[in-house]
Chains A and B, each alone.
Chain A
Amino acid sequence: MSGRDQDRNREFVRDVLARTSGSACDRACGLLPDLTDGVLASLDRQLVQQHLEHCPGCRAVALALGWLGPELASRAVLEPGPGFTAAVMARTSARTAAAHERRARELAATGPGGLMDRVGRWWQDRVLRPGFALQAAYAATVVLVLLTATPVSPLRGAPRVALAVFSAGPEALPVVNEASTWLADRTDEATSTLVADARARADRAGSSLADRGARSAPERARCAGAVGHALTNLRAGRFGDAGQDILDALHAGRTAWTLWWTTHPANNG
């Protein structure tokens, strides 16, 4: 068959397809990957090959698919050059050193030791784990949100008030007053919550609430007094004194807490 006859045949088939099923190229191209991989069924293979004989466009795609497979597979490994490994090692060396210290401590540890030793080693193991920083940041974020950003958070509104105080400057006494009022409200809420919680715990433990209250009363009074002084100093603009009062209150509160939870009065000292 001459070239002119072939062209005429090709045009004839294309016209027939255009008036009936549409172009067969999409169907043929859909089967080309299986043809290239050698998994095409016999009849389909013959049909596709026949199509390729008459369609230069699909033939070009088939040829590209033929060399594309090995070409792509040869790109599975791209060596980065001599400095790459050293750069990675430099970026991970700090953590490697920390892990080394942990291993040295593990080797140096002889025997189980006391409870605090074991707790200390466990804590160091946690801290030196590679993912500790991320985990700690995640946990801290969750705690912060729970404390300040939910409708039932004990410190809800704290970020807004803190921002207002910092942005107002020391001369803006009204803002400080608002902050101190807010602090007093939160303190009341927290105290009542703590009392209710402590009462429930004491009931569960079968301990005498009155005894615990009597034991911790002086320190609780000292704590309340320090909080009162702190609020007074805040309102008066004496921020340094107020800070010292808050520290005293924290110290007294911690002591009161310890006394409250000490089961045997003989161990209070």
Chain B
Amino acid sequence: MDKVELIHRCRLGDELAWEALVREYQGRVCSIAFGYVGEQDEALDLAQEIFVRVWNRLDQVTEPERFAGWLTAIARNACLDHLRRRKARPPRQDIPAEELTNLAAHGPTPEQAWLANDRQRLVHRAMQQLSDINREIIVLKDIQGLPLEQIAGMLDLPLGTVKSRSSRARVELARAIVALDGGPGGMGQEAVS
């Protein structure tokens, strides 16, 4: 489907075109949101917010052929705004253990939906231990596969800095995985060897 024509029709208010655009990019937007916030329900709400924001700014797409990069930048900004708001909120009160048990018994947890196996859960837990900047680079570079030049522009950093940070972030993530997995010879290692 021609992306330029699709976006043009979205601007004119064609619901079918907009629905097609949402369907095409919703998995990617959810992945970005999940990478930033780390919780599935929160990521789903945030992904909806991102699409509303995209809809409100469709007139600002100057290069429709580069829509994916524009969308990623919008999603990133929305995620950062969300994280800022989350940090500004007072901490939630602790939930009693028995209520936690009841909560766990209802509905699919993130582990059941987007984190289907042990290795995915291990990577997810390790991701939560990264610094914000390293997690962001992992999301943009290693998960979304954006070119380093685009990430450098998005983060407003020199290309060399982004490249070195990307390498450090991967090593930090691998070390976190090894540590969570019980050191050399853990589950993750056995699965590979």
Q: Evaluate contact between B57 and A130: CB separation under 8 angstroms.
A: yes
- Provided the pairs A60-B185, A79-B26, A79-B30 are in contact, do residues A68 and B13 lie with their beta carbons within 8 angstroms? no
A67 to B189, CA, bound (A): 9
Kindly identify, within residues 77 to 91 of chain A, every residue whose CB is under 8 Å from any CB belonging to chain B: 77-81, 84-85, 87-89, 91
Partner-contacting stretch, out of A29-37, A43-51, A220-228: A29-37
Q: Which of A33, A73, A79, A134 contacts B170 (CB 8 A)?
A: A33
Q: Evaluate contact between A64 and B188: CB separation under 8 angstroms.
A: yes
- Provided the pairs A60-B178, A67-B188 are in contact, do residues A91 and B48 lie with their beta carbons within 8 angstroms? yes
A71 to B18, CA, bound (A): 31
Shortest Cβ distance from B110 into chain A, in angstroms? 10
Residue from A30, A33, A61 having most chain B Cβ neighbours under 10 A? A61
Q: Which of A59, A62, A77, A92 contacts B31 (CB 8 A)?
A: A77
Partner-contacting stretch, out of A96-104, A169-177, A241-249: A96-104
Interface membership of B193, Cβ < 8 A: yes
Interface membership of B119, Cβ < 8 A: yes
A62 to B174, CA, bound (A): 8
Interface membership of A19, Cβ < 8 A: no
Interface membership of B36, Cβ < 8 A: no
Interface membership of A93, Cβ < 8 A: yes
Residues of chain B with a CB closer than 8 A to A98's CB? 13
Interface membership of A131, Cβ < 8 A: yes
Q: Evaluate contact between A88 and B184: CB separation under 8 angstroms.
A: no
Q: Evaluate contact between A61 and B175: CB separation under 8 angstroms.
A: yes
Residues of chain A with a CB closer than 8 A to B184's CB? 56-57, 59-60
Residues of chain A with a CB closer than 8 A to B186's CB? 60
Residue from A73, A84, A91, A134 having most chain B Cβ neighbours under 10 A? A84
Interface membership of A4, Cβ < 8 A: no
Size of the chain A interface, CB-CB below 8 angstroms: 48
Q: Evaluate contact between A131 and B114: CB separation under 8 angstroms.
A: no
Per-residue CB contact flags for chain B residues 27-39 toward chain A (1 = under 8 Å, else 0) read 1101100110000
Residues of chain B with a CB closer than 8 A to A71's CB? 119-120, 123
Q: Evaluate contact between A72 and B28: CB separation under 8 angstroms.
A: no
Q: Evaluate contact between A61 and B31: CB separation under 8 angstroms.
A: no
- Provided the pairs A71-B119, A72-B142, A95-B55 are in contact, do residues A103 and B19 lie with their beta carbons within 8 angstroms? no
Interface membership of B145, Cβ < 8 A: yes
Q: Which of B27, B35, B178 contacts A64 (CB 8 A)?
A: B178
Residues of chain A with a CB closer than 8 A to B143's CB? 72-73, 75-76
A130 to B188, CA, bound (A): 48
Residues of chain B with a CB closer than 8 A to A63's CB? 188-189, 192-193
Shortest Cβ distance from A27 into chain B, in angstroms? 12
- Provided the pairs A76-B28, A102-B13 are in contact, do residues A69 and B142 lie with their beta carbons within 8 angstroms? yes
Interface membership of B47, Cβ < 8 A: yes
Residues of chain A with a CB closer than 8 A to B145's CB? 73, 76
Q: Evaluate contact between A88 and B30: CB separation under 8 angstroms.
A: no
Residues of chain B with a CB closer than 8 A to A65's CB? 170-171, 174
**Chain A residues proximal to chain B, CB less than 8 Å:** 29-30, 32-34, 56-57, 59-69, 71-73, 75-81, 84-85, 87-89, 91-93, 95-100, 102-103, 129-131, 134
**Chain B residues proximal to chain A, CB less than 8 Å:** 11-13, 15, 18-19, 22-23, 26-28, 30-31, 34-35, 44, 47-48, 51-52, 55-60, 113-114, 119-120, 123, 138, 142-145, 166-168, 170-171, 173-175, 177-178, 181, 183-186, 188-189, 191-193
- A-B CB proximity, top 9 nearest: A99-B13, A77-B27, A60-B184, A64-B174, A33-B167, A72-B142, A78-B31, A56-B184, A88-B51
